[in-house]
């Protein structure tokens, strides 16, 4: 199940590098689906703050050990057989950098992985 939490009344304007945000969301949600159990829940939360937009994706998969979190954004790093090309999180990291943002991996509250992306509304790019 995929759950989305966002306040429709918030201001969502963001100076986007053209074509990048769809790719970012597709990679994060796709990874969450791939690594969650078949009946698992993926929770996506959007928060609008004065100067940033925050995207949080929680899954119920095995998570990523603290010692391996830095390596997951390296090109061609894969989480096991059948885990894709190993480019998704590398692409996400690049998109976050283009928006002068931050990318944080943490443990999800219900188990699994939490990925938090913070994007600056006015990055000077785009």
Closest Cα to residue 56, out of 111, 5, 21?
5
pLDDT of residue 88: 67
For the segment 51-87, what is each residue's pLDDT rounded down to a tens digit? 999 999 999 998 888 877 676 666 544 554 445 545 6
Distance CA 35, CA 50 (A): 33
> What domains sit in the chain, N to C, each tagged with a CATH number?
2-120 (3.30.565.10)
pLDDT of residue 73: 63
Statement: residue 11 has pLDDT above 50: yes
* pTM summary value: 0.84
Residues 35-45, mean pLDDT to the nearest whole number? 93
């Amino acid at each position: 199940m995929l759950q989305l939490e966002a306040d429709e009344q918030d201001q969502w304007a963001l100076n986007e590098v053209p074509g990048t945000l769809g790719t970012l969301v597709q990679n994060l949600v796709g990874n969450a689906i791939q690594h969650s159990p078949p009946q698992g829940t993926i929770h996506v939360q959007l928060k609008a703050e004065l100067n940033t937009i925050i995207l949080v994706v929680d899954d119920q998969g095995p998570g990523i050990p603290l010692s391996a979190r830095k390596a997951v954004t390296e090109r061609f790093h894969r989480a096991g057989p059948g885990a894709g090309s190993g480019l998704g999180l590398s692409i996400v990291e690049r998109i976050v950098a283009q928006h002068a943002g931050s990318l944080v991996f943490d443990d999800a509250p219900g188990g699994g992985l939490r990925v938090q992306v913070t994007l600056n509304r006015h990055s000077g790019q785009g």
